[in-house]
Structure 1
């Protein structure tokens, strides 16, 4: 039933219904905050991330095509966390092999270091072709089966499998220096 309510809220949101936006805000704020705080461990930074995501939802309400509100907001929050980490750690790029090696060889990797690895993964996922990226995110982040993805995206299951294979091949190639350590995220 919640999905039906979300669909109705999204339709109202697209019509600039402030009450619908307020309902979405109250329904998802705590969940999004938990996602952001779990990765950042800084209260104010996590609050900033949630504000950014929810404000963007309102600003972009006319152009967004959202099928699953909770999944969209969770993914948007993860990407906003990556941007926040980049702002907090601007002088330590993740494309430096020495930084990455230090992170993965240290058995006591800090939570923030783990987030930096996730950020690099997020950048590579964002670089996938649109359908390939969506299939990958539905599969890995939303835990949809291939059959559910095929139905949601109006694709055959074979096409879904092909997109997943392409995404994983791309990620293995682009993240070959840290792929063994990120494979549990995929």
Structure 2
């Protein structure tokens, strides 16, 4: 397996080849851990991030269309770091010492992301309850419209209407930072 290219490994992964997954795990674990640890500076949190990314790769293997495995995993790890910070520091103000410690990196990307995330969270909280739930199921939990409809006992058309309403609201509320949230819209 060591001699296989990333593309060959991805093809085998999509066919549920556990050996291919194991090879990807061994090939990228250290690199992903370095990315996560460099931002978090907490060993267990960094390990959790890498585990989350690699587990997601296996679970979503059939639906992913990955062209460059290395880049995909690095990006997924960065987003997982941001989610991990949200889990570690829920509802904490930016001047909290724990937040400052986590985001005190040489560059300000993490602090900027945290501020943007707070703005997004505030805008999402302004949505009506059903609309907010539909948006969170769709974007945060990555449920399909059909799954959301079943979970909330709504029609798929109603789910689509709630998503449209939520996205319109968020575009208006976050128009000055809209490009940063393109992965939600």
Place the TM-score, normalised by the shorter chain, in its bin.
0.5 to 0.7
Tell me the matched-pair count: 116
Q: Which structure 2 residue ranges, 5 or more long, are not aligned?
A: 120-173, 181-185
Listed one character per residue, the Cα deviations across residues 29-66 of structure 1 (whole Å, up to 9, x for unaligned) are: 00000000000000000000000000000000010000
TM-score, reference length from structure 2: 0.55
RMSD, matched Cα: 3.0
Structure 1 residue aligned with 2:23: 23
- Residue 61 of structure 1 aligns to a residue whose secondary structure is coil
Q: Trace 1:121-160 onto structure 2 (pairs within 5 A).
A: none
| Aligned partners of 1:79 and 1:122 also within 8 Å | no
Deviation at residue 117 of structure 1 after TM alignment: 2.3
Structure 2 residue aligned with 1:32: 32
Structure 2 residue aligned with 1:174: 177
> Rg bigger for which structure?
2
Structure 2 residue aligned with 1:145: none
Deviation at residue 123 of structure 1 after TM alignment: 9.2
Q: Trace 1:61-140 onto structure 2 (pairs within 5 A).
A: 61-92=61-92, 99=94, 110-113=101-104, 114=108, 115-120=110-115
Instruction: Check 1:120–1:12 CA distance in 2 against 1; reply closer, same or farther (3 A cut).
Output: farther
| Aligned partners of 1:85 and 1:116 also within 8 Å | no
TM-score, reference length from structure 1: 0.55
- Residue 76 of structure 2 aligns to a residue whose secondary structure is helix
- Residue 173 of structure 1 aligns to a residue whose secondary structure is coil
Higher relative contact order (Cα pairs below 8 Å, separated by 6+ residues): 1
Instruction: Check 1:120–1:23 CA distance in 2 against 1; reply closer, same or farther (3 A cut).
Output: farther
